[in-house]
Structure 1
């Protein structure tokens, strides 16, 4: 058992290096097998395909990151409509914080997921997050409207563009190998930019949980005077 575990670990370590350097599509099983010091027959005892090997490395982490995201979406969805606006910033911040911590605790595998997954079932990972965010945005709009606050009509493609910008920007932290502290600061600023834009478009206040007229500046208060 110990010998088999050691063989499998050598295969995974060799695969990490190969996938990181070459990406999934250009990675060579022959090089992985050679670097791991095993025969091709021995390799296939553990992984029937190259994609199965990639899945062993990236799959658990893709599911973990998406799990944090799904939990955040569910937390908002399950709240009463009247409470969703006021909780949005807190829940979003907690969710993104969990994702950031997880990514830096499992950095190599998450970098594989974001930067090396072309040609695998994970290459649309950011797109899948974006689509979930779009659906959640429209559920939120319906919830707010159910409280009697009118919402502007928001084009679905625009919603997709905004959401895609957030998640693509977030995962630049691994695409550019940022230090965690710098990534945390930049993602916080990205969230502020993203949140402020939505507040302006929707006419809501995610910080105070209040509704405003759509299009009113976030820093414009009653009486029409800016602080």
Structure 2
């Protein structure tokens, strides 16, 4: 049996990434993608059922990386944390924020695809779905802090989702507007000053 030639796979994915970035998913042309990769449409369809499967393959690694970070950070048991650890979890730590921006900047093309070019794919609601995932984890931290009387107890998960949506919008927008790394560094410092979680949630000092 003939062995499939996998050497052309990276060319297909890079050509697809270029076309999706330029045209978005819905207007992207498989013909253009094949021409850019130097392959026939038959070779592409041997590997992918269609345009959406190809789009998903392009962003697959970045999606996997994002969800891995979310689970590593979200799987901590807040009931096992000290009061000080629970309070500190809400710090707007400049180093941690810069880590997030660098993590995303290193994946900026795929992150932009997820944010701005994914209409018509399973990732069309990615910005909302990502915040929803983080809200579930963050709600556990907040609920435990509320149970211990460390902060205000009138913030419900729905309200927290709105607050986190606003927060993540300040992270999405620099990538949507193609900020340089220098611009992102300056923006990060502004965001850290803008969001005062301790004050908004009335955490004990």
Contact 2:92 2:192 in 1 (8 A): no
Alignment of 1:42-53 (within 5 A): 42-53=43-54
Q: Partner of 2:128 in structure 1?
A: 127
Contact 1:19 1:27 in 2 (8 A): yes
* Deviation sequence 1:168-227 (CA, Å, 0-9, x none): 220212111111132133123213322x1x3233211xxxxxx16xxxxxxxxxxxxxxx
**Using a 3 Å threshold, how does the CA distance of structure 1 residues 133 and 72 change in structure 2: closer, same or farther?**
same
The alignment covers a number of residue pairs equal to 203
Secondary structure of the equivalent of 1:171?
helix
How far did residue 58 of structure 1 move? Answer: 0.5
**Using a 3 Å threshold, how does the CA distance of structure 1 residues 150 and 193 change in structure 2: closer, same or farther?**
closer
How far did residue 53 of structure 1 move? Answer: 0.9
**Using a 3 Å threshold, how does the CA distance of structure 1 residues 148 and 156 change in structure 2: closer, same or farther?**
closer
Q: Where do 5+ consecutive residues of structure 1 fail to align?
A: 205-210, 213-227
Q: Partner of 2:20 in structure 1?
A: 19
Q: Partner of 1:225 in structure 2?
A: none
Residue 92 (structure 2) pairs with residue 100 (structure 1):
no
**Using a 3 Å threshold, how does the CA distance of structure 1 residues 90 and 164 change in structure 2: closer, same or farther?**
closer
- d(CA) in 2 for partners of 1:17, 1:109: 10
Q: Partner of 2:86 in structure 1?
A: 84
How far did residue 64 of structure 1 move? Answer: 0.5
- d(CA) in 2 for partners of 1:25, 1:180: 29
Alignment of 1:88-167 (within 5 A): 88-89=90-91, 94=96, 96-149=97-150, 151-167=152-168
**Using a 3 Å threshold, how does the CA distance of structure 1 residues 119 and 79 change in structure 2: closer, same or farther?**
farther
TM-score by length of 2: 0.84
**Using a 3 Å threshold, how does the CA distance of structure 1 residues 99 and 87 change in structure 2: closer, same or farther?**
closer
- d(CA) in 1 for partners of 2:113, 2:6: 22
Contact 1:81 1:144 in 2 (8 A): no
**Which of these two proteins has the greater Rg computed from alpha carbons?**
1
- d(CA) in 2 for partners of 1:37, 1:67: 34
* Deviation sequence 1:60-109 (CA, Å, 0-9, x none): 10121232233223347364251211243277953x44432222223322
Q: Where do 5+ consecutive residues of structure 2 fail to align?
A: none
Contact 2:104 2:111 in 1 (8 A): yes
Contact 1:20 1:112 in 2 (8 A): yes
- d(CA) in 2 for partners of 1:50, 1:192: 42
Secondary structure of the equivalent of 1:89?
coil
Q: Which of structures 1 and 2 has the larger relative contact order (alpha carbons within 8 angstroms, sep 6+)?
A: 2
* Deviation sequence 1:147-183 (CA, Å, 0-9, x none): 2446231254432221111112202121111111321
Q: Partner of 2:199 in structure 1?
A: 200
